[in-house]
Structure 1
Amino acid sequence: MNLNKNKKITLISRPLFIFIVLATLWSTWLLQFPHPLELFGDYLHYLFLGITGAIFANSTGAGGGVIFIPVFNSLNFTNEQSISTSFVIQCFGMTAGALTWWLHFTHQKQAQQGRLLVKLIFICIPLSVAGIWTTHIFEIQAPGSLEHSFSLFSIALGLGIIYSCFALKNSDANHTLSRYEVLQLGFITYLGGIITAWLSVGVGEIIVIYLLLKKVTPSLAIAVGVIVTAFTVWSVSPIYLSEQSDAYFKVILFAGPGAIMGGILAKKLALYLPVKGLKIFFAGWIILSGVTMLVVT
């Protein structure tokens, strides 16, 4: 009885301790800004933006930038501010989501899929990071403006998600990829890293859609996309967290913690809600956002 009681106390106290530490760090950060109470009232609503973006990102594998970029565009952020702010918020949300999915698949009951998860992320992470840094090192510019490129990518992404949903109909997911399919995955992951540098979204979406089309278990495909995206955005964090960054840190102060909350909640949604319905809903949202940005600009 005492052992069970001690286990329950530990299970309760550990999250509480983590929450207190994070809350203390956040409060310290808030106090670094002038007029913190006024700032709290003016920017608190961005907490819900972070939650929404991270839930979408970590339950579908698509980057939170799909939500953040249209919102920042509507607020008249510059392209540099939009990209930088989106990247930093994703460092919060995708990390929380990545840890949540990792713990899920490294659990003893998920041992088989856990091994495949490790294999796939070890293939994809270096190539995605190489792609994003290729763009930065060689200063490769996007083929169009942020608004135009993002709109076209969003529409294509939404259609791809819908197609992948119906491609799964009446087919059983498997857990293996051929050598040729692994090479294909590596190539598109590298391209996804390049696209991510331009739009703050790309690699996670491409990976998930490809794996779904290859009949990999949906939850595993999402986990790979989320974890690879987390490593990718963190790989360029020195750029977007520097003093020269264009990131809007007052927004990040609230959207970042919201993204952590969303990243933790997302796995439960992805596992307990109908996968196809969830993806079609978000695909519709992405297409609508892309079309709206295309028309407005």
Structure 2
Amino acid sequence: MFSYIPTFKRKNTFSGEYYRSLTILFLLSSAWIVWLFQFAQPIALIKEYGKFVFLGVTGAIFANSTGAGGGVIFIPVFSSLDFTETQSVSTSFMIQCFGMTAGAISWSGYYRRHHHHDKTWSGFIPSILLAATCSVLGLWSSQLWQLSSPSSLHTSFSLFSIVLGIAIIISSQRRPLQSHRLNALDYCWLAIIGYLGGIITAWLSVGVSELLVIYLMLRGVCAKMAVAIGVVVSAITVWSASPIHVFSSSSHALFELVLFAGPGAIIGGLLARKLALFLPVKTLKLFFSSWIILTGSVMLAN
């Protein structure tokens, strides 16, 4: 008799979550269809750009399972398509608004369900608030003061990818420190990294999340928490640039491509957390770092 009540409650909870998910899916699908028909010749558009759904899925899976921004995948592809630098950065920002947001929601839900009272995750929210605030300040400092990248997007991104890949490999091979809680000095570094990372992100559409994840892993923070922090901070950072790259009438983003890559990024962002929890983090890091080193080297050679 008494065992039936919890079972009934679980069924109601499951039903509620199912219908809520179904409602969200319906609303998103309806919004996408409305957006599609804002363009002329929607059928031709699907034939020409439909394949970019897979780009969005791939980029978001890499980004949200490792903490690295999706631009690490998007920028090399856009470069091979002969996009201008402004087109590449704007389009990458806009796609990440979809994928990183989905990943941030997924990782935040994971924290709330499994680690809300976990002492090893006690720095999750403070780290996000501090690093995201400084990252947004860094991004807008770059915009308002017109700080330009020291070299072209092609060269800067290539060098950044190679250095980032090497740093990820080093951090993956190091034995984790037994440091579960961040101290005052760590938060100072997170503020500095957040600000500088925001400036780099303004130039390349990637930067802040990668630097944060590497630092946190070197400090011995739980790898999953480090990835989650990087994803959420990245989502906040890319959305802070939405007045420039998304809602501005002068945006250089290729909206036809985003129409398909964006929904793909949502799918990838939701799948990424499950992949990160299923596979060893070290395996993901090594695979990802090898990929971006190869990509950066190829771009630098061309």
Q: Provide TM-score, normalisation by structure 2.
A: 0.94
Partners of 1:4 and 1:83 lie apart in 2 by 45
Secondary structure at 2:300 match in 1: helix
Partner of 1:218: 223
Say whether residues 1:75 and 2:109 are aligned partners.
Answer: no
8 Å Cα contact 1:55-1:263 kept in structure 2: yes
Name the CA shift for 1:106/1:174 in 2 (closer, same or farther; >3 Å).
farther
Partner of 2:234: 229
Cα displacement (A) at 1:42:
1.2
Partner of 1:9: 15
Partners of 2:189 and 2:13 lie apart in 1 by 46
Q: Provide TM-score, normalisation by structure 1.
A: 0.96
Cα displacement (A) at 1:4:
4.1
Say whether residues 1:49 and 2:55 are aligned partners.
Answer: yes
> Which stretch of the first structure deviates more once superposed, 104-113 or 175-184?
104-113
Partners of 1:6 and 1:283 lie apart in 2 by 44
Partners of 2:117 and 2:55 lie apart in 1 by 35
Name the CA shift for 1:4/1:201 in 2 (closer, same or farther; >3 Å).
closer
Partner of 2:183: 178
Partners of 1:38 and 1:194 lie apart in 2 by 38
Say whether residues 1:85 and 2:91 are aligned partners.
Answer: yes
Long gaps (5+) in structure 2: none
Partners of 2:229 and 2:9 lie apart in 1 by 36
Say whether residues 1:149 and 2:156 are aligned partners.
Answer: yes
Partners of 2:77 and 2:299 lie apart in 1 by 10
Cα displacement (A) at 1:10:
1.5
The residue identity in structure 2 corresponding to 1:43 is: Y
For residue 194 of structure 1, the aligned residue among 195, 199, 210 is 199
Cα deviation, 1:64-108, whole Å, max 9, x if unaligned, reads: 000000000000000000000000000000000001111111225
> Which stretch of the first structure deviates more once superposed, 207-216 or 110-119?
110-119
Partners of 1:38 and 1:62 lie apart in 2 by 33
The residue identity in structure 2 corresponding to 1:178 is: N
Partner of 1:288: 294
Partners of 1:7 and 1:118 lie apart in 2 by 27
8 Å Cα contact 2:127-2:190 kept in structure 1: no
Cα displacement (A) at 1:174:
3.3
Name the CA shift for 1:8/1:188 in 2 (closer, same or farther; >3 Å).
closer
The residue identity in structure 1 corresponding to 2:187 is: V
Identity %: 52
8 Å Cα contact 1:69-1:83 kept in structure 2: yes
Partners of 1:10 and 1:275 lie apart in 2 by 33
